[in-house]
Amino acid sequence: MTKDKLDGLIITDLNNIRYLVGFTGSNGMVLLTRNRCLFFSDFRYQAQSKRQIRNALVKIRARDLLAVFPTEELKGIKKLGFEADNLSYQNYRRVKKQLKKVSLVSCNNWTLELRAVKDNTELKLIRKAVAITDSVFAKILKMIKPGIREKDLAMEMDYQMMQQGEVAFSTIVASGKNGALPHYHPGLKKIKRGEMIVFDFGAKYQGYCADMTRTIFVGKADKKGKEIYSIVLEAQKRALAAIKHGEKATDIDEKARNYIAVKGYGKYFGHGLGHGVGLLVHENPALAKTSKTILENNNVVTVEPGIYLPWWGGVRIEDLVRVTSKGCENFTKSPKELIEL
């Protein structure tokens, strides 16, 4: 704020609000100035705000927080920043119309940048979310058999995660050729002997997410399956070994991508190597060809190379790790050796 000569900043992204002041409801806004922090919500969250809000003064207003903007709190403010990637154009116009003597300035998502480095409390919650995810994978392995439907496995996994926390994102169970679709939605397809299954899922615990992918084979893997699996696993190992505080995210991506390319499957690995995980399952930093990030201690990122052959299927292996000055701490404990059920 000082660098951009701002007198204040309004924060409307609910995940950023949770990170800054602890609020978990669905309607809130923060006004941050040089010397105070105000939190706004409506009557539905009056009691909840008293329980949750830290480091901010609570103000209860009408449900539509932007309809009557708290202009009375803007004394001395000439330049007011806002989260450009969150405030819609329509709401921007509504606010601007009410601010006669205040200049609205679009800002980068600074809070999201802060969120990229986790503190000890956040790391503890992420570890717990990963532990739940690992436990669910161990249980689901006992249920897999020819004839069971993708959707049945996905619903059981969601149930198991909900018993211990929440579901971080839509669970992927992709069998056979469906494994070539990185963001496949499980359907009513019955799993056949000899097929691979890609499981991509994660639990959420007290707001913090996990993310894991494992690929298993129902019955014996064929020669192609063993080849693809070994390439993906080696690519991941090379990337994991290169992760360290101060390393370029692009260099980590290249470790896996170049190996897959050398093995002849470069054009079948089309997504980034990984992404940050925290309050959201996709946040900063990104491990990708276009990333400009230099990794920092306590970044938490996925490492998930994959090969996707439309006529055959796909293999992806994903772990969640913490960046340290000595390398990385791998939170994910589920086995990665080839599983044949």
Give me the CATH number covering residue 286.
3.90.230.10
Is residue 104, in this structure, part of any structural domain at all? yes
Domain boundary among 94, 115, 136: 115
In a domain? residue 72: yes
| Residues 323, 185 share a domain | yes
| CATH classification of the domain holding 84 | 3.40.350.10
Residue 338 lies in a domain: no
The reply to whether 275 and 308 lie within a common domain is yes
**In terms of domains, do 29 and 136 share one?**
no
Instruction: Decide if 335 is inside a domain.
Output: no
Match 């200049």 to its residue by tokens. Answer: 103
Residue 267 and residue 155 share a domain: yes
Are 95 and 171 found together in one domain?
A: no
Taking residue 157's Cβ as centre, other Cβ atoms within 10 Å add up to 24
Question: What confidence score (pLDDT) does residue 108 get?
Answer: 87
- Confidence (pLDDT) at 324: 98
**DSSP state at residue 72:** G
Tokens of 62: 């009408």
Note whether 40 and 179 are same-domain residues.
no
Query: Which range of residues forms the domain containing residue 167?
Result: 120-330
For residue 21, the model assigns a pLDDT of 97
Q: Are residues 245 and 295 in the same domain?
A: yes
- Rounded to whole angstroms, the Cα distance separating 125 from 206 reads 7
Contacts of range 56-60, beta carbons closer than 8 Å, 24 or more positions apart: 56/20, 56/21, 56/30
Is 221 found in the same domain as 99?
no
Total of domains in the chain: 2
**138/13 same-domain check:** no
User: Which pTM was predicted?
Assistant: 0.95
Distance CA 49, CA 43 (A): 10
For residue 9, the one-letter residue type is L
Q: How far apart are CA 241 and CA 134, in angstroms?
A: 22
Residues 6+ away with beta carbon under 8 Å from 263 = 231
Q: Is residue 314 part of a domain?
A: yes
**Of 87, 115, 143, the domain-final residue:** 115
Residue 332 neighbours by CB distance under 10 Å: 23
Q: For residue 307, list its beta bridge partners.
A: 315
Q: How many CB atoms lie within 10 A of CB 219?
A: 13
- The pLDDT, as a whole number, for residue 246 is 98
In this structure, the answer to whether residues 196 and 295 fall within a common structural domain is: yes
336, 214 Cβ separation under 8 angstroms: yes
Q: Are residues 263 and 241 in the same domain?
A: yes
SS3 at position 261: helix
Q: In this predicted structure, what is the pLDDT of residue 90?
A: 96
In a domain, 102, yes or no: yes
Residue 230 is assigned to a structural domain of this protein? yes
The answer to whether residue 233 sits within a structural domain is yes
Q: Cα-flanking dihedrals φ and ψ of residue 208, to 5°?
A: -105, 140
The one-digit pLDDT tens for each residue of the chain (341 residues) are 999 999 999 999 999 999 999 999 999 999 999 899 999 999 999 999 999 999 999 999 999 999 999 999 999 999 999 999 999 999 999 999 999 899 999 998 899 999 999 999 999 999 999 999 999 999 999 999 999 999 999 999 999 999 999 999 999 999 999 999 999 999 999 999 999 999 999 999 999 999 999 999 999 999 999 999 999 999 999 999 999 999 999 999 999 999 999 999 999 999 999 999 999 999 999 999 999 999 999 999 999 999 999 999 999 999 999 999 999 999 999 999 999 99
Give exposure, 44-57, as e/b (b: 16+ Cβ within 10 Å).
Answer: ebeeebeebbeebe
For residues 122 and 207, give the distance between their C-alpha atoms in angstroms, rounded to a whole number. Answer: 9
Q: Could you give the CA distance from residue 101 to residue 235 in angstroms, rounded to a whole number? A: 56
Contacts for 146 with CB less than 8 Å, ≥ 6 apart: 190, 191, 192, 193, 218, 219
Residue where a domain terminates, one of 78, 98, 115: 115
Can you give the pLDDT at residue 334? Answer: 98
Do 154 and 97 have their domain in common? no
